[in-house]
Amino acid sequence: MVEERSFISKTLNGFNAGVLVFITLLCLYPVWYTLVVSLSSKAAVAAGEVFFWPSGFTLSSYKLIVEDMQFFNSFLISLERVVLGSSITFFIVLLMAYPLAKNAKEFGLRNIIMWLLIFCMLFNGGLVPWFITMKSLGMVNNIWGLVLGGGLPVFNVILVMNFFRNLPKELEESAIVDGAGPWRILFHIFMPLSKPVMATILVFTIVYHWNEFFQALVLMTKTENYPLQSYLRQVTIITDPSNMDAESAMRLATTSNQTLNAAKIFVTMLPLLIVYPFFQRYFVKGITLGSVKG
């Protein structure tokens, strides 16, 4: 009887493992397929011969992307935007979520501010008023327009606020008794206990600033000020071969819109694929368990 149960248990575990492996492969295949298409020749992609491995291996798509120095300039602009935007947004969200996590008796303006945030999250003034406002603040053709244009994501504020409200109230009360002020409580107690939600909003912010392209199209009048996503969106394969050298013309002949677009997609998502594993462990780790002893 015991052996039969053991056999059934092993069979079910094996089945579950197989299902999980299958789901994992389904999730990874689009990324792999994008890479395979970007490394395949124009003829192979057009003929539908590309499935699991590159056909007619070529690096023409990547060479077309990186041969222009503007690509590297746009990459640095995107990197600067991610660093500045993530840092500023993280700090603002933290400072706003902490007082809003208190009740109306502790912070009298809490309900008013919350209603204003919800209203701003649901409605906005429109693109033209937003542009006029940004222009009046001198944020056209300026990296600060991209950094501060969406500097306060209300959803992230609500996410952090709710996490703070679920922290044991006894922690803050004990700190107050020991003479700690709001700043010390926030940075020395709440932040260390909130690594999961901090990592979450940091990933959300990094992904937003890295992938967002429309604001640059509105605020930037010069291509050299475009971040990577906006610049790659402007890259087109419709190029006059007469203005190209022989090597570039040869690469152009072996590249299609599909292969070039696949290369763009893979280049732009590669940094996020590298960064995400460093934050992933915080999504599943409980920090506050056992923080208060009865």
Among 24-38, 40-54, 213-227, whose mean pLDDT is lowest? 40-54
pLDDT at position 289, please?
A: 37
Mean pLDDT across the stretch 29-46?
82
pLDDT at position 119, please?
A: 86
Q: Which CATH architecture has domain 62-283?
A: Orthogonal Bundle (1.10)
Residue 236, pLDDT > 60, answer no
Whole-number Cα distances in Å, 103 to 159, 176, 186 = 16, 17, 16
The closest alpha carbon to 193, from 168, 173, 170, 175, belongs to 168
pTM of the predicted model, to two decimals? 0.75
Mean pLDDT across the stretch 76-80?
90
Whole-number Cα distances in Å, 43 to 14, 40, 253, 284 = 42, 8, 10, 45
Q: Write out pLDDT tens, residues 160-179.
A: 888 888 888 888 888 888 88
Among 29-33, 47-51, 128-132, 214-218, whose mean pLDDT is lowest? 47-51
Specify whether the CB–CB gap between 213 and 150 falls below 8 A.
Answer: no
Buried b / exposed e over 52-69, threshold 16 CB at 10 Å, is eebbbebebbbebbeeee
Q: Write out pLDDT tens, residues 176-234.
A: 888 888 888 888 888 888 888 888 888 888 888 888 888 888 888 888 888 888 887 77
Specify whether the CB–CB gap between 36 and 259 falls below 8 A.
Answer: no
pLDDT at position 22, please?
A: 92
pLDDT at position 240, please?
A: 46
